[in-house]
Structure 1
Amino acid sequence: MKRRTFVKWGSALSVGGLAGCSAPTGDGGGEATAGGTTTEGGAATEGETTTEGGAGGGTQEIAMITEGSEYYFDPIGLFVEPGTTVEWVIESGSHSSTAYAESLDSANVTRIPEQAEPWDSGILTEQGASFSYTFEVTGTYDYFCLPHKSLGMIARIVCGEPGDVEGDPPDGAVPSEQAIVNQGTISYEEFSGGGSG
Structure 2
Amino acid sequence: MDPDETTTSRRGFLRGVGTVGGGSAVIAGSAESASAQEATTHQVDMTDGLVFDPDSLTIAPGDTVVWETVGSVGHSVTAYEDEQPEGVEFWSSGDLDSEQAARNAYPDQGDVASGETYEHTFETEGVYDYFCIPHEAAGMIAELEVVEGGAAPDGGGGPVIPQVPDSAKSLAVAATTAMLSVLALAWFFIKYGGDYETVEDGGE
What is the TM-score when the length of structure 1 is the normalising length? Answer: 0.47
Which of the two has higher C-alpha Rg?
Answer: 2
What is the TM-score when the length of structure 2 is the normalising length? Answer: 0.46
- Which one has the bigger strand percentage? 1
- Which one has the bigger helix percentage? 2
